[in-house]
């Protein structure tokens, strides 16, 4: 088939590589230079975790992805994925139903190694955190973070080397509709690209490109801060791994020192907005919330200079699960998005899942990511997500 992939973020480029590998002709279209500076995938780091509260599907998907992340480091001859471990800590003892308790229970069940919190050694081992702040949690050594922007750049080069036709600086403005299928896409310059199938992987732009999907996709903006630590030695990965601090009730998480900065962000409700909106800047309130959090939790960063901020966009679904499915009314239209702020870690398996949706192959994961307009907002959420 000739497959047009709209969007060269991680969802699009992994789909393009897998479809090309399966012998299809692939045209990958993106309005930016790729990696697109405003894309969610274009960042210095994204967490790779198997801890997903009670949701064993995501833990299993992460456990399939992590060995491939390691393999990608070898295959591409550069450390894109840093297995520095992840730390989830909480102020109260872990209780059944909590994100931390359920994550530890599932990790144990999956025989995934993890170390339970030990109050006496915690502060010696992770000195940047305020003493006496946390009283329970766990460290998962087989996890870490990926340098997402570099991952996309590396995969785009790889896709091109396989023969994927990349059309940069090219924006799709509409689908070229047939009776009960799509014939291709219309570009901003008025030209058409014809194809046998179209994969829309336009991230948070999807509900703006395909207006009818606003019923089940919402673009939300989330603040990201890069801070210059006064004592960088406290923030090296072995002393300050990726962490979630009561993440499901505060939203706050952060990364070790990387490219000279410590990144702190919030996995919360966010602000609904178009990815191209002028509102896409961090507010004084968001910065103040950060400072309050740091003062109580990571004191040595409380007054650290902020060297960069960004509003990064989620494409939210009504239940917090990804969306990789063909449209029942137009089966050769496949939408691969709905990241809800947690899809990057699955990059090693995303392409296969999307290609199976394009080819109509049975894939158990597609059940979870199926076309589900019947699911209403508020019914469920991703376990680590803070709804505030």
The residues binding ligand FAD (CB under 6 A) are 6-12, 29-32, 36, 39-41, 46-47, 171-172, 201-205, 209, 222, 224, 265, 312-314, 337, 339, 341-345
Q: Calculate ∠ Cα 25-20-369, nearest 5°.
A: 110
The one-character DSSP state at 90 is: E
Least Å distance, CB 96 to ligand FAD, is 26
Query: CB-wise, 40 or 50, nearer to ligand FAD?
Result: 40
Least Å distance, CB 209 to ligand FAD, is 5
Query: CB-wise, 90 or 198, nearer to ligand FAD?
Result: 198
Query: CB-wise, 137 or 341, nearer to ligand FAD?
Result: 341
Collapsing DSSP states into helix, strand and coil, what is residue 168? coil
With CA atoms as reference, report the closest residue to 90 among 321, 317, 316, 252: 252
Tokens 């975790």, located at residue: 49
Least Å distance, CB 14 to ligand FAD, is 8
Each as own residue / partner, the long-range contacts of residues 179-188 (CB below 8 Å, 24 or more positions apart, any chain) are: 180/329, 180/330, 180/331, 181/330, 181/331, 181/332, 181/333, 182/330, 182/332, 182/333, 184/4, 185/4, 185/6, 185/29, 187/29, 188/31
Least Å distance, CB 364 to ligand FAD, is 20
By beta carbon distance, the residue nearest ligand FAD is 9
Query: CB-wise, 345 or 385, nearer to ligand FAD?
Result: 345
- In whole angstroms, give the CA distance from residue 279 to residue 288: 17
Least Å distance, CB 118 to ligand FAD, is 26
Residue 48 near residue 141 (C-beta atoms within 8 A): no
Least Å distance, CB 135 to ligand FAD, is 25
The one-character DSSP state at 141 is: S
Residue 73 near residue 281 (C-beta atoms within 8 A): no
The alpha carbons of the chain give a radius of gyration, in whole angstroms, of 21
Query: CB-wise, 32 or 54, nearer to ligand FAD?
Result: 32
The structure tokens listed for 345 are 């870690």
Least Å distance, CB 180 to ligand FAD, is 23
The one-character DSSP state at 376 is: P
Query: CB-wise, 24 or 222, nearer to ligand FAD?
Result: 222
Query: CB-wise, 141 or 299, nearer to ligand FAD?
Result: 141
Least Å distance, CB 384 to ligand FAD, is 10
Tokens 């790779």, located at residue: 48
Residue 228 near residue 243 (C-beta atoms within 8 A): no
- In whole angstroms, give the CA distance from residue 26 to residue 294: 46
Query: CB-wise, 24 or 46, nearer to ligand FAD?
Result: 46
The one-character DSSP state at 211 is: G
> What are the beta bridge partners of residue 335?
200, 325
Least Å distance, CB 229 to ligand FAD, is 20
Tokens 């060297």, located at residue: 307
- In whole angstroms, give the CA distance from residue 356 to residue 325: 9
Query: CB-wise, 51 or 90, nearer to ligand FAD?
Result: 51
């Amino acid at each position: 088939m000739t497959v047009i992939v709209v969007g060269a973020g991680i969802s699009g480029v992994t789909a393009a590589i897998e479809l090309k590998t399966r012998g299809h002709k692939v045209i990958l279209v993106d309005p930016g230079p790729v990696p697109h500076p405003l894309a969610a995938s274009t960042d210095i780091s994204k967490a790779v975790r198997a801890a997903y509260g009670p949701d064993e599907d995501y833990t299993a998907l992460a456990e399939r992805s992590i060995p491939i992340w390691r393999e990608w480091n070898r295959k591409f001859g550069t450390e894109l994925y840093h297995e520095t471990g992840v730390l989830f800590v909480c102020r109260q003892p872990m209780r059944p139903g909590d994100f931390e308790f359920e994550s530890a229970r599932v990790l144990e069940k999956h025989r995934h190694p993890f170390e339970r919190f030990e109050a006496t050694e915690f502060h010696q081992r992770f000195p940047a955190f305020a003493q006496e702040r946390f009283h329970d949690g766990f460290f998962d050594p087989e996890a870490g973070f990926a340098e997402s922007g570099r991952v996309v750049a590396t995969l785009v080069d790889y896709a091109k080397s396989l023969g994927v036709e990349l059309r940069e600086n090219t924006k799709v403005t509409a689908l070229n509709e047939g009776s009960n299928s799509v014939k291709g896409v219309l570009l901003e310059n008025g030209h058409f690209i014809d194809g046998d199938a179209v994969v829309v992987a336009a991230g948070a732009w999807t509900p703006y490109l395909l207006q009818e999907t606003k019923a089940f996709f919402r673009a939300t903006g989330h603040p990201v801060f890069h801070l210059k630590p006064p004592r960088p030695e406290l923030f090296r990965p072995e002393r300050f791994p990726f962490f979630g601090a009561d993440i499901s009730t505060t939203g706050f998480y952060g990364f070790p020192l990387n490219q000279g900065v410590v990144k702190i962000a919030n996995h919360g409700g966010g602000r609904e907005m178009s990815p191209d909106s002028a509102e896409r800047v961090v507010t004084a309130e968001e910065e103040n919330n950060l400072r309050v959090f740091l003062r109580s939790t990571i004191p040595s960063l409380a007054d650290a200079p902020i060297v960069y901020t960004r509003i990064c966009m989620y494409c939210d679904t009504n239940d917090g699960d990804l969306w990789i499915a063909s449209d029942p009314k137009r089966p050769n239209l496949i939408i691969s998005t709905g990241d809800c702020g947690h899809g990057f870690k699955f990059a090693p398996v995303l392409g296969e899942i999307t290609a199976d949706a394009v080819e109509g192959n049975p894939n158990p994961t597609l059940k979870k990511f199926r076309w589900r307009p019947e699911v209403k907002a508020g019914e469920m959420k991703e376990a680590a997500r803070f709804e505030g």
